[in-house]
Amino acid sequence: MTQATRRPTKQRVAVAGQLDRTSEFVSAQELHAELREAGNKIGLATVYRTLQAMVTDGEVDVLRTDDGESVYRRCSTGHHHHLVCRECARAVEIEGPAVETWAAAVSAQHGFVDVEHTVEIVGTCANCTRR
């Protein structure tokens, strides 16, 4: 089932709306707490299922933190990478033509086809550095 054919449930609309209000990556637990605080009666399992469906449909990006937790953020469509602040979780979408060229060359060199990749660059943003 794709985004175009998925029914826009009340829960999906609530999750999407909450994600639209933040520019940072958030965990399912954080998102669930924010939704509950706003008065939405939504279960944590429903938040997880909804986020996974949104990831599958390309509406949401997911990253894995250093401790293995998945975090989510609404992103633009199309292939892109992220520059993420390790302190405040602020994320900036970036395009990486050098990465694309390198990935294609390395893949071809080793005989791989139909290759996908994920690149996340983690650092400390200017605001957090000044603190």
Other CB atoms within 10 A of residue 109 CB: 8
Residue 2 has pLDDT above 60, yes or no: no
Q: Which residues 6+ apart lie within 8 Å of 85 measured at CB?
A: 91, 122, 123, 124, 125, 128
Residue 31 has pLDDT above 50, yes or no: yes
Mean pLDDT of 22-33: 92
Q: Are strands 26-27 and 70-74 parallel, antiparallel or unpaired?
A: antiparallel
The amino acid present at 26, given as its one-letter code, is: V
Share of the chain above pLDDT 90, in %: 44
- The structural domains of the chain, ordered by start, are 1-75 (1.10.10.10), 77-131 (3.30.1490.190)
Residue 107 has pLDDT above 60, yes or no: yes
What is the signed CA dihedral for 71, 72, 76, 81, rounded to 10 degrees?
10
Token pair 């250093």 is found at 66
When pLDDT is cut at 50, 70 and 90, the band that residue 129 belongs to is very high
Q: Which residues 6+ apart lie within 8 Å of 63 measured at CB?
A: 25, 70, 71, 73, 82, 84, 120
